[in-house]
Chain A
Amino acid sequence: MKFLVCISNVPDTTTKISFTPDNKEFNKAGVQFVINPWDEYALTRAIELKEANAGSTVTVLNVGEADTEPNIRKALAIGADDAIRVNAAPQDAFFVAEQIAAVAKDGGYDVILMGKESIDYNGFQVHGMVGELLGIPTVAPAMKLDLAGTTATLEREIEGGKEIVEVSTPFVASCQQPMCEPRIPNMRGIMTARTKPLKVVPPVGDPARTQVAEFALPPKKQGVKLIDAANAGELIKLLRNEAKVI
């Protein structure tokens, strides 16, 4: 089985978000970047399945400039075998999907995994675009993934429940909890990751279909109105008469 795991490089989850003075770009100054938390589920599950299926390989793929390499190396340290970086700043979901589809087409991968969405742009789009570009099924978002030969059984979250879906390889799945327990790299992994192959390839495809005109932060809250715990019922009256939400 050949697994391709797509990872994005995102601001750490504790980051206070700010933008450049013209509000056109995210302000990266002083921000630490991590592997997108949703992608960690995809990566770990691929490694678990590789371990259970002898002869399998896991390739990680990132669309990004050279500054993403520390997190690509981290994915290698967690247990991926090799990596590909498409040397381009990700412009929009479609642009990223085109890069992934191009790599996948040439590489003959059986299973393409990624996180449900990236925690920065929250597109929740790339999975379907890749599936459609390659003409293969997509399962999104997947909470469970098992493989028996070339047949995969997945649990897909639907509002209020789940669907059990069976698909044949090749397919794309976007992963979320509770797929597995994400792993952290150990010392041996970190040492071996340094020598694992990381190939850099140029971007392909059409330009982006969407452009960000401006970013904005949500309006500041007015400040909290405290109600005495002894008269907690007062809150319900305020919610009806003042906030008008109940």
Chain B
Amino acid sequence: MSVLVVVECAEGEVKKSSLEVATYGARVAAMLGTTATAIAVGEATEASLAKLGEQGITKVLYDAEPRLKDFVNNAYTKLIATAAEQEGVQVLVLANSNIGASVGSRLSVRLKASLATNVVELPKTDGGQFVVKRGAFSGKAFSDVVLSGDRKIVAVKKNSLEARHEAGKTAEVVAFAAQLTDADFADAPKQVVMQEQTGGVLLPEAALVVSGGRGMKGPENWHLIEELAQALHAGTACSKPVSDVDWRPHHEHVGQTGITISPNLYIACGISGAIQHLAGVNSSKVIVVINKDPEAPFFKAADYGIVGDVFDVLPKLTAAVKELN
């Protein structure tokens, strides 16, 4: 009986969302009176894996097979399933990411486990039940879901809980070989293309986000968004019409048909706040809206607002951040 956490790594480091997932897994293990083991996927250094001790992980399994550097659905699924069987897993925790969703759903069938994605809180385990709270209706609601059966898989939404950092604690890193064959790599990517991110901050992982809508008037004005984002070390996002006309790449589009984010701070510049846009951002902890129309619906969902012209307001905000730093 154990808790197994899937940690995603890139360029040698554990991703921020996986530090959150590791913390979640360690807390669940404590609730169940057991320990949390991690299985690392992607490219990781031993030192970065050992540091998962700071999140409460006791042991990290790592398969150094070089073809596992990039995501391969079949191979990752087999790797994690093998680790899960070896560890006698009761609860498997992963990130609600594209990797987490891809392998989590396959694993739920392979391990005969019940699965909840988009989970935003630690489980409640009163009365022998295992109940998790998850986002539903594209961020417009939540649901408490009972996971039945002996095995459970939980995919934790990014920024839902803060990663613990207990300085000095280390995890034991153990070599792990899932005996993967060439057939397991049949769906390996032919090519991986990374996009340039503003200030190097990945939008799905960003704690702070500066976002622009049609009110920005054109791509030539995006430097105003980028300058504020850079000063804040924030990611950048946009509304759907902005990506539809290619002012910004699709992967920055947030909302009902874009990505759903829940950063600590979301700054919306020249965005009206249509219900489909709100669906993707309204679980942000603090929302700031800058719009010249005082009747813009977004003000109803905002914590702070400025009724004004983005071309006048944004440079002032950037200057104020620089002054503060």
Contacts and interface: CB of A to CB of B under 8 A. Distances in A.
Interface centre among A161, A214, A235 (most CB of B within 10 A): A235
Interface string A155-166: 011111111111
B195 A210 contact: no
Contacts of A224: 289, 299-300, 302-305
Given A120-B136, A129-B108, A210-B147, A162 B193 contact: yes
Contact of B71 (A124, A163, A176): A163
Given A161-B195, A209-B148, A210-B147, A137 B305 contact: no
Interface in A136-177: 137-141, 143, 153, 156-167, 176-177
A29 interface: no
Contacts of B105: 93, 124-129, 132, 138, 140
A193 B257 CA distance: 27
Interface in B277-325: 279, 282-283, 285-286, 288-289, 299-309, 312-313, 316-317, 319-321, 323-324
B141 A226 contact: no
A128 B94 CA distance: 15
B179 interface: no
For the residues of B in contact with A, the DSSP-based class is mixed
Contacts of A211: 145-146, 148
A236 interface: yes
B256 A119 contact: yes
A227 interface: yes
A226 B303 CA distance: 9
A60 to B, nearest CB: 20
A210 B115 contact: yes
A159 B101 contact: no
B116 A210 contact: yes
Contacts of A120: 136-138
A233 B143 contact: no
Contact of A125 (B115, B143, B187, B309): B115
Interface stretch (A63-71, A79-87, A237-245): A237-245
**Interface size class for chain B?**
35 or more
Interface string A212-246: 11111110011011111100111111111001011
A159 B316 contact: no
Interface residues of A, number: 78
A131 interface: yes
A38 B138 CA distance: 12
A37 interface: yes
Given A119-B256, A125-B104, A159-B202, A232 B138 contact: no
A166 B189 CA distance: 7
A192 to B, nearest CB: 28
B145 A164 contact: no
Given A209-B148, A212-B144, A224-B289, A159 B308 contact: no
A238 to B, nearest CB: 6
B214 interface: no
Interface string B110-122: 1001111110000
B164 interface: no
Contacts of B15: 159
A92 to B, nearest CB: 8
B58 interface: no
A239 B231 CA distance: 14
6 contacts: A160-B194, A161-B193, A211-B146, A213-B131, A216-B141, A232-B317
Interface of B: 15, 70-71, 73-74, 77, 96-99, 101-106, 108-110, 113-118, 131, 135-149, 186-195, 197, 202, 204-205, 208, 232, 243, 250-251, 253, 256-258, 260, 264-265, 275-276, 279, 282-283, 285-286, 288-289, 299-309, 312-313, 316-317, 319-321, 323-324
